[in-house]
Amino acid sequence: MNVGNVIRTCWILLALYWFLSALSSKPVAEKPNRSSIWTYRLAMMIGAVMLFTQWQPRLLKITIFPRSEGLAWVGAAFCLFGLLGAIWSRRTLAGNWSSDVLLRQGHELIERGPYRFVRHPIYTSILLMFLGTAIAEDQVGAYVGVLFFVAGLWIKLRQEEILMGRHFPEEYPAYKKRVKALIPFVI
Q: What is the pLDDT of residue 65?
A: 78
Q: Could you give all domains of the chain from N- to C-terminal order, each with its CATH number? A: 3-12+25-178 (1.20.120.1630)
Percent of the chain scoring above 70 in pLDDT: 99
Q: What is the pLDDT of residue 76?
A: 96
Cα-based distances in Å from 86 to 1, 55, 90: 23, 28, 6
Strands (E), 35-143: 103-104
| Residue 35 scores a pLDDT above 80 | no
| Residue 1 scores a pLDDT above 80 | no
Element (H, E) at 148: helix 140-167
Nearest to 24 by CA among 118, 77, 90: 90
Burial of 76: CB neighbours in 10 Å, binned 0-12, 13-18, 19+: buried
Average pLDDT taken over every residue of the chain: 90
Mean pLDDT of 26-54: 84
If DSSP codes are grouped into helix, strand and coil, which group holds residue 5? helix
Q: How far apart are CA 18 and CA 125, in angstroms?
A: 13
Cβ burial 32-46 (10 Å sphere, 16+ → b, else e): beeebbeebeebbeb
Q: What is the pLDDT of residue 155?
A: 93
pTM above 0.85, yes or no: yes
For 55-114, what is each residue's pLDDT tens digit? 777 767 777 777 788 999 999 999 999 999 999 999 999 888 888 888 888 899 999 999
Res. 156 pLDDT band, cuts 50 70 90: very high
Q: How far apart are CA 176 and CA 178, in angstroms?
A: 5
